[in-house]
Amino acid sequence: MSLSINIPTIETDRLVLRGFEERDLDALAELWADEDVTRFLGGKKSRSDTWRAMASILGHWFLRGFGFFCVEERSSGQSIGYCGPWRPEGWPENEIGYGFSKAAQGKGYATEAAKTSLQFAYQTLGWSSAISLIDPQNAASQNVARKLGATLDQSGVDVTDFTADIWRHLPKEEFLERYA
């Protein structure tokens, strides 16, 4: 028996947001093997744990109808991270989450992908609000959230096995008006 998951492909000027494929394992394993990159993403993962995490991402799409996209750099075709709507068991609300390889950081990719993911969540999934769970020490992710109009809503919220701050994104109508 073969199951299929309908994961859309969304293109921006510089990125392709799409479903994960087996060919993305090497890039994702490299991302999750980097201690600096994973400092705020739950820590390093082995290659086999990365495989399971990738399967979990695809399972989230199957169970919830949405999930993280693989983010690919259009010019190179290289997988550079993940971003998208996310709400696993135990999350306080619908989230836009993201993680990018060290080489992809500082180029505005996270902001571009998160903006596109919010548009998808609001326009396609029908969300009316969204948050991002951000470690209080993660200044880079806080900057991404600020660039998209998000503000700090709550500090020190316990979420499953970690504590994070809740950054609240603009409500649907205001976000879409600003970023149409």
- What is the model's pLDDT at position 53? 96
Dihedral of CA atoms 161, 167, 171, 176 in degrees, nearest 10, equals -110
Helix, strand and coil content of the chain, in percent to the nearest 5, comes to 40, 25, 35
- What is the model's pLDDT at position 4? 76
- Helix crossing, 109-123 with 139-147: angle to 10°? 50
Name the nearest CA neighbour of 163 among 112, 90, 106, 104.
90
- What is the model's pLDDT at position 16? 98
Give the pairing type, strands 69-73 and 95-100: unpaired
Task: Say if pTM beats, i.e. exceeds, 0.85.
Answer: yes
Radius of gyration (Cα) for the chain, nearest Å?
15
% the chain with pLDDT above 70: 98
Dist. CA 38–CA 62, nearest whole Å: 25
- What is the average pLDDT score of the chain? 96
- What is the model's pLDDT at position 180? 76
Region 13-17 average pLDDT: 98
pLDDT tens digits for 22-46? 999 999 999 999 999 999 998 999 9
pLDDT tens digits for 59-107? 999 999 999 999 999 999 999 999 999 999 999 999 999 999 999 999 9
- What is the model's pLDDT at position 148? 97
- What is the model's pLDDT at position 2? 64
Topology of the domain comprising 10-179: Aminopeptidase (3.40.630)
- What is the model's pLDDT at position 94? 98
pLDDT band at 3 (very low <50, low <70, confident <90, very high): low
Domain ranges of the chain: 10-179
pLDDT band at 20 (very low <50, low <70, confident <90, very high): very high
